[in-house]
Amino acid sequence: MDNNTNDQRRKHKLIEYANGKSLEEINGTVEVPKGKGFWKTLLAYSGPGALVAVGYMDPGNWSTSITGGQAFGYTLMTTILISSLIAMLLQYMAAKLGIVSEMDLAQAIRARTGKALGIVLWIMTELAIMATDIAEVIGAAIALNLLFHISLIPAVFITVLDVLVLLLLTKIGFRKIEAIVVCLILVILFVFVYEVALSDPNWGAAFAGLLPSSQAVATSPERLGITPLSGSLGIIGATVMPHNLYLHSAISQTRKIDHTNAEDIKQTIRFTAWDSNIQLSAAFLVNCLLLIMGVAVFKSGTVKDTSFFGLYEALSNTSMLSNPILISVAKSGLLSTLFAVALLASGQNSTITGTLTGQVIMEGFVHMKMPLWARRLVTRLISVVPVLLCVAMTAKDNAIQQHAALNMLMENSQVFLAFALPFSMLPLLLMTDSKDEMGEFRNTGWVKVCGWLSVISLTFLNLYNLPNTFESFGIWQKSTSDLLAWIAIVVILMLLAWTIYDMYKGNKRLVAEGIHHPWEHKDGQKPASQD
């Protein structure tokens, strides 16, 4: 049997073995210029950062920021700033790992760990992706309901059809996908800039809120069911998410470079960092605008229903808006319609990035590969189940109770992010700190210090908030919730210890075998440090 026949058969398999380059179909496919000006070179590298930034402005971020603004004014602006700076640092390290090692984060972890741990980490990360997908299902279904008056259950099923959008996108090339994502981000940004501009906020107070303050982590007062501390933890939890680290380490490899040339690697790291930081700054701005909306667009404390339904209705309710200009525009229905359009754009953006991330972790951890459309269909069908159950169980309740139940499902689904985040952050930091792995491109002193502070802080805060998260489920008594939370914390710490031990052994093995750095052996030159 000839090779062509074998290739044809392999193309017809739904699930294939995969142990090659990360996202092989698009790896190294985008040409970049050499010796050109800064702006032309930056344009060629721009795009991957936009796909990553989508995760920092998805529907899961919206209610936390707006509720924080309604409850505490501009106090939590500093939390948005700090979490965005941490995100920039972690995304920089993830992209650098992909560029230098030519492996994405999942592949790099799996190369150092055993099969059993690889499967555990894969399942954990899949659950985290599905948790974010639940927020996207809810956001998109509600947007369809608000814009086109489609009932929620049919709207939920319509969200499954976004797989057809993905099929179309896979035919047009990765560069065009990047452009579409940027356009959708600009739509979201325009909507919130417009609505906040009409509200005429107190910009002095908003900028003062960016300064670190102990009030942002205070345990009192409690407003709208949250304290400043729980509001800050909610913002952090909705901002820094594990799947973005896996995604960035893969799509940073889409640019075509010569890995035997230190200058090529240096240029790629530099412009990838620029791209990432510019796009994440846009995400930071969107999240700030969401919080400012909570403060300035609505009268203080008037928004009792912070679900997407409640916010949509509030934007058309003149008695809840803060000034005559907003009221006159709201009468036309423009404010609420723009909000729903931005919500739909956010959900569609997350569809693209969530599917790519799912492929990255499946190939990296368990060496399995599916067509992107099949991957998306499976993930989305699983994710719609809890949403459909929630809608069905609250069908006889009034509208406010149904909205609250959907909002609670969306917020509680994010618990898996607290489980999965340390298992991406800690290995990422260990590997990018390593001279064996990164050579002269390893993290410098200030990046190490900031990295460890970020990882320890985020891990502690996520674990610290688990008892409150379990209590918020409303399923068990407080004592039972706390016990289950502490069991979860112990399990997470044990798995972290297992991960660190496996990575330590795996790294020693790889060092003994000899890690090859192609750029160090061309013309006897080594690159300067990149940080």
Cis peptide before 427 (omega within 30 of 0): no
pLDDT digits (tens, 9 = 90+) for 431-447: 999 888 888 899 998 99
Give the amino acid at 171.
Answer: K
Give the DSSP letter string of 427-473: HHHHHHH-HHHHGGGS--HHHHHHHHHHHHHHHHHHHHTHHHHHHHT
User: What per-residue confidence (pLDDT) applies to 14?
Assistant: 66
pLDDT digits (tens, 9 = 90+) for 278-291: 999 999 999 999 89
List, in order of start, the domains of the chain with CATH numbers: 16-512 (1.20.1740.10)
User: What per-residue confidence (pLDDT) applies to 524?
Assistant: 44
Paired residues of 226 in beta bridges:
223
Q: Read off the pTM.
A: 0.87
Instruction: Please state the separation of Cα 302 from the chain's center in Å.
Output: 30
User: What per-residue confidence (pLDDT) applies to 84?
Assistant: 92
User: What per-residue confidence (pLDDT) applies to 169?
Assistant: 65
* HSE-up (13 A, CA, CB side) for residue 521: 4
Which residues contact residue 123 at a Cβ distance below 8 angstroms, ignoring those fewer than 6 apart? Answer: none
Is 98:253 a contact under the CB 8 Å cutoff? yes
- As given in the structure block, the two tokens for residue 469 are 């998260």
The three-class DSSP label of residue 369 is strand
Using a 10 angstrom Cβ sphere, with 0-12 exposed, 13-18 middle and 19 or more buried, the burial of residue 520 is middle
Mean pLDDT for each consecutive 10-residue tract of the chain (531 residues)? Answer: 46 64 83 86 90 81 81 91 93 94 91 90 87 82 89 85 67 78 86 87 92 86 80 80 90 89 90 94 91 83 75 84 82 87 80 80 86 77 84 79 78 72 92 87 92 90 80 80 91 93 88 74 48 47
User: What per-residue confidence (pLDDT) applies to 166?
Assistant: 62
Mean model confidence pLDDT for the chain: 83
User: What per-residue confidence (pLDDT) applies to 17?
Assistant: 65
Give the amino acid at 28.
Answer: G
Closest residue by Cα to residue 371 from 82, 39, 15, 95: 15
User: What per-residue confidence (pLDDT) applies to 275?
Assistant: 95
CB neighbour burial string for 81-112, b if at least 16 within 10 angstroms, e if fewer: bbbbebbbbbbbbbbbbbbbbbbbbbbbbbbb
